[in-house]
Amino acid sequence: MIQVMACAYGGAGFAACLDIRLRVFVAEQNVPEAEERDAFEETARHFLALWQCEAAGTARAMVTAPGVVKIGRVAVLAPFRKAGIGVALMRAAEAEFPGAAFTLDAQLQAMPFYERLGYAARGPVFDDAGIPHRRMLKT
């Protein structure tokens, strides 16, 4: 069973979110640790997904303009992929901001996942931490 909870910056839930991000982005994808964390940590809304009480995935969302929310740092640990955790995280983040338009920067290999959730690609491919990305929107 999947449970998703919002976590405050600095608490135990946030620490679990950060641990997942470090394991996925830094250890697996070789993103420099200095680039993985940023100035938005304190103001973003963090989400932690639990699979049978075990930390399995994370995402964060932040308001970037009136009525516009950017979702990012979506990460699911390898043993839990394909179990619906990414979908649960995205739905939880979207539900937190009813009526908003959503944007995200998707790794190219993850674009089909986001397309299934109603996101559409906009703009050119760009590099983020050495990984090709593309901006996606959902209104």
Q: What is the pLDDT of residue 98?
A: 95
pLDDT value at residue 19:
97
- Exposed e or buried b per residue across 60-94, where buried means at least 16 C-beta atoms within 10 angstroms of its C-beta: bbbeeeeeebbbbbbbbbeebeeeebbebbbebbb
pLDDT at position 34 over 90: no
Stretch 93-112: mean pLDDT, rounded?
97
Q: Which helix (H) or strand (E) holds 113?
A: helix 111-116
For residue 138, how far is the Cα from the chain centroid? 15
Cβ-contact 94, 77 below 8 angstroms: no
> Residue 134 carries which DSSP code?
E
For residues 58 and 21, the answer to whether their CB atoms sit within 8 Å is yes
- pLDDT of 139 > 90? The answer is no
pLDDT per position as a tens digit, 39-98: 899 999 999 999 999 999 999 999 999 999 999 999 999 999 999 999 999 999 999 999
Q: What is the pLDDT of residue 71?
A: 98
Q: Global pTM? A: 0.94
| Complete domains list, the chain, with CATH | 2-138 (3.40.630.30)
